[in-house]
């Protein structure tokens, strides 16, 4: 709900009390945006909902409300339509005053949250000794955007990268490297990440086929957990090698994140098991320590256990996730913990959330949220893979997007006979390429699968990053062409709205606070993408030589007013795109 709606809602609540008495204080006026501009800007449907309770016709109830409703500062006289809808049209003078107010506000009139709190966003989460692949793309991009929006709203956000840096795979890899490449366990940078991945695959094949090797690898895990100096040194080198490669990706994506891997919580695992035991939840089942879950059954229809300690005394992901959850509540003092992972892990989160709840670890004022997302599919509608059938490396995917963006740019420059520096071409190609990948992902409802298409995401038309970036660059072009410094307009600029495209753009500019507030709650960044796309379309209609208005060639006061609309559009686009992790371009 934006600021205007909040004001109108309060006016309706006062009118309801004045019309029907104190019993109707706090009744929801059911105020929504009008579905059709011919009905005005907002519609209140409360009269229909009160008909049965008051024993009156909705139109009579609507008339009684309108009689007590004072919205003269905001709207034209309310109109009653149909069976009892109350239609409201915003006054032109009100819109003009609102725009002038946000023009001088660095936050564009968007209030920070009234209840700031510590929020944790757990995202990205690659595995050490493996390369980041297309499967990490969505978690990284969606998680970063959610964190940016929460930070902008004024929350204290802790961005955590729960990397897989502990467990059996290290025993397996270290054991294998001791045989085939011992130098990698003592010397930094002895291997590049590609070689490390190859050795990891070979170690896994050996582990699956050779029982003696398997046993040695398990003993190596025991040595790691016990802090054996040589094993610990080898583990640190392998982690550091992967970490450097991850950072290249994060730098390319402009993502800030704090690593806190599984190893961080390892010392806390015994106390998790002990506390579950003391709370009476722990059951021993075939030598393993488990908590039985409600609502989950195996194939035989028996209750399904969540194993927290294996029969050999080892721990698993669930134990680590329980330890991390408890730490985040008790030590980090988080009030909302958001996990951004693929939808296939939904059951896992439901299960360990349930165990933590049964154990009494989740206070009433703490919210746990799993933010699921669908798969990235190839243009054949199947899971996105390379031609050879391998998982697509994230680095390759991003490099390809930049390369294609560069080809498109060079072709356009040639057609326009424009000369640009190599520095300009490199910068634009990288920003457009990376932005296209991000926006294509974020513009989808995250719960759905989506088809990855370089051609569609790099298109200058449609709901794409290049379309948004071009709209922003177009406005900067207006300022260059007219020699306009938008900052100088802010102090005494008067807004005058006359043309229908001006009014449509003005009304839409005032909705950004509602959109961001909604995404803060439902964590669906595609809502922000939809808003920015519609805003760009409304700006293009406003600036269109046939449908819209003159800007630089207009007479005063319209010229300055329209330049203010241009500036507000550019600033809103820049803000919205920055919350998606997308950098704007002054020129394209």
pLDDT tens-digit series, residues 380-428:
888 888 777 778 889 999 999 999 999 999 999 999 999 999 999 999 9
pLDDT value at position 191?
A: 75
- How many CA atoms are closer than 13 Å to the CA of 462, on its beta-carbon side? 10
* Overall average pLDDT of the 434-462 stretch: 95
Domain covering 3-90 in this structure, CATH number: 3.30.1360.70
pLDDT in tens, 86-121: 999 999 999 999 999 999 999 999 999 999 999 999
Least confident span in 186-200, 325-339, 406-420: 186-200
- Is residue 148 scored above 90 in pLDDT? yes
* 227 vs 555: which has the higher pLDDT: 555
pLDDT value at position 315?
A: 87
With CA atoms as reference, report the closest residue to 405 among 463, 469, 462, 476.
Answer: 469
Note the pTM of the prediction, 2 decimals: 0.93
- Is residue 472 scored above 90 in pLDDT? yes
pLDDT value at position 314?
A: 80
Q: Where are the domains of the chain?
A: 3-90, 118-163+263-376, 168-255
What is the Cα–Cα distance from 544 to 278, expressed in whole angstroms? 71
Dmax over CA atoms of the chain, in Å, equals 88
pLDDT value at position 197?
A: 84
pLDDT value at position 189?
A: 77
- Is residue 312 scored above 90 in pLDDT? no
pLDDT value at position 75?
A: 95
pLDDT in tens, 539-548: 999 999 888 9
What is the Cα–Cα distance from 233 to 241, expressed in whole angstroms? 12
Sign, CA dihedral 148-150-154-155, equals negative
Label residue 195 by pLDDT band (50, 70, 90): confident
Least confident span in 141-150, 165-174, 398-407, 559-568: 165-174
Q: Which residue has the tokens 């025993």?
A: 171
Residue 211 burial (10 A CB sphere; 0-12, 13-18, 19+): exposed
pLDDT value at position 28?
A: 93
Label residue 225 by pLDDT band (50, 70, 90): confident
Q: Which two tokens stand for residue 413?
A: 């420059």
Q: Which residue has the tokens 């309770």?
A: 53
Label residue 463 by pLDDT band (50, 70, 90): very high
Query: DSSP letters along 245-299, please?
Result: HHHHHHHHHT---EE--HHHHGGGHHHHHHHHHHTT--EEETTEEEEEEEEEE-T
* Overall average pLDDT of the 322-336 stretch: 98
pLDDT value at position 206?
A: 93
pLDDT in tens, 26-80: 899 999 988 888 889 999 999 999 998 999 999 999 999 999 999 999 999 999 9
pLDDT value at position 241?
A: 87
Label residue 129 by pLDDT band (50, 70, 90): confident
| Whether 429 contacts 166, CB under 8 Å | no
Q: Which residues have C-beta within 8 Å of that of residue 335, sequence separation ≥ 6? A: 117, 118, 119, 365, 366, 367
What is the Cα–Cα distance from 237 to 549, expressed in whole angstroms? 63
Percentage above 90 pLDDT, the chain: 78
Which CATH architecture is the domain 118-163+263-376 placed in?
A: 3-Layer(aba) Sandwich (3.40)
pLDDT value at position 294?
A: 87
Strands 42-44 and 336-342: unpaired
CA 530 to chain CA centroid, Å, is 14
| Whether 184 contacts 237, CB under 8 Å | yes
Residue 218 burial (10 A CB sphere; 0-12, 13-18, 19+): middle
pLDDT in tens, 152-170: 999 999 999 999 998 888 8
Residue 558 burial (10 A CB sphere; 0-12, 13-18, 19+): middle
Q: Which residue has the tokens 């700006």?
A: 539
Least confident span in 143-147, 203-207, 332-336: 203-207
pLDDT in tens, 229-281: 999 999 999 899 889 889 999 999 999 999 999 999 999 999 999 999 999 99
Query: Can you list the pairs that 283-289 forms with residues at least 24 positions away whose Cβ atoms lie under 8 Å?
Result: 286/311, 287/311
Q: For the chain, what is the mean pLDDT?
A: 93
Strands (E), 38-155: 42-44, 79-81, 85-88, 118-122
Backbone phi, then psi, for 284, in 5-degree steps? -90, 130
What is the Cα–Cα distance from 499 to 534, expressed in whole angstroms? 18
């Amino acid at each position: 709900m934006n600021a205007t709606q909040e004001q109108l809602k309060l006016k309706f609540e006062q009118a309801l009390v004045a019309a029907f008495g104190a019993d109707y204080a706090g009744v929801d006026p059911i105020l929504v945006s009008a579905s059709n501009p011919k009905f005005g800007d907002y519609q209140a449907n409360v009269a229909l909902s009160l008909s049965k309770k008051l024993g009156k016709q909705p139109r009579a109830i609507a008339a009684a409300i309108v009689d007590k409703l004072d919205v003269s500062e905001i709207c034209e006289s309310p109109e009653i339509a149909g069976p009892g809808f109350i239609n409201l049209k915003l006054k032109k003078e009100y819109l003009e005053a609102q725009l002038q107010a946000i023009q001088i506000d660095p936050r564009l009139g968007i209030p920070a949250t009234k209840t700031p709190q510590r929020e944790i966003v757990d995202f990205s989460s690659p595995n050490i000794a493996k390369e980041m692949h297309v499967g990490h793309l969505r978690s990284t991009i969606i998680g970063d955007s959610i964190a940016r929006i929460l930070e902008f709203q004024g929350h204290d956000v802790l961005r955590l990268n729960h990397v897989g840096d502990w467990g059996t795979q290290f025993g397996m890899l270290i054991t294998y490297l001791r045989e085939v490449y011992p130098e990698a366990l003592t010397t930094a940078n002895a291997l590049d990440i590609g070689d490390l991945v190859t050795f990891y695959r070979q170690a896994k094949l050996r582990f699956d086929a050779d029982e003696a090797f398997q046993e040695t690898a398990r003993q190596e895990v025991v040595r790691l957990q016990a802090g054996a100096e040589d094993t610990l040194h080898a583990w640190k080198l392998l982690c550091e090698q992967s970490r450097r490669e991850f950072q290249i990706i994060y730098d390319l994506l402009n993502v800030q994140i704090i690593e806190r891997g599984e190893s961080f919580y390892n010392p806390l695992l015994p106390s998790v098991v002990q506390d579950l035991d003391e709370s009476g939840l722990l059951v021993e089942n075939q030598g393993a320590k488990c908590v039985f879950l409600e609502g989950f059954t195996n194939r035989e229809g028996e209750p399904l256990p969540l194993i927290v300690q294996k029969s050999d005394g080892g721990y698993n992901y669930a134990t680590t996730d329980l330890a991390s959850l408890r730490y985040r509540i008790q030590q980090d003092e988080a009030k909302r913990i958001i996990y951004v992972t693929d939808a296939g892990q939904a059951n896992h989160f439901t299960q360990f959330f349930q165990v933590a709840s049964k154990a009494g670890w989740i206070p009433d004022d703490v919210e746990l949220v799993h933010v699921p997302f669908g798969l990235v599919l190839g243009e054949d509608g199947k899971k996105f893979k390379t031609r050879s059938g391998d998982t697509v490396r994230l680095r390759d995917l991003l490099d390809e997007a930049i390369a294609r963006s560069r080809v498109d740019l060079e072709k356009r420059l040639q057609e326009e006979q424009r000369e640009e520096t190599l520095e300009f071409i490199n910068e634009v190609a990288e920003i457009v390429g990376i932005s296209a990948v991000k926006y294509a992902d974020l513009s989808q409802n995250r719960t759905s699968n989506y088809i990855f298409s370089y051609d569609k995401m790099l298109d200058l038309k449609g709901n794409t990053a290049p379309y948004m970036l071009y709209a922003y660059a177009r406005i900067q072009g207006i300022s260059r062409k007219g020699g306009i410094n938008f900052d100088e307009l802010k102090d005494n600029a008067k807004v005058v709205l006359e043309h229908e495209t001006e009014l449509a753009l003005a009304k839409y500019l005032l909705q950004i606070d509602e959109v961001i507030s909604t995404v803060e709650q439902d964590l669906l960044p595609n809502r922000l993408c939809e808003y920015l796309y519609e805003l760009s379309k409304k700006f293009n209609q406003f600036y269109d030589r046939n449908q819209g208005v003159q800007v630089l060639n207009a007479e005063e006061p319209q010229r300055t007013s329209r330049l203010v609309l241009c500036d507000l559009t550019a600033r809103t686009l820049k803000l919205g795109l920055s919350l998606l992790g997308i950098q704007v371009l002054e020129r394209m």
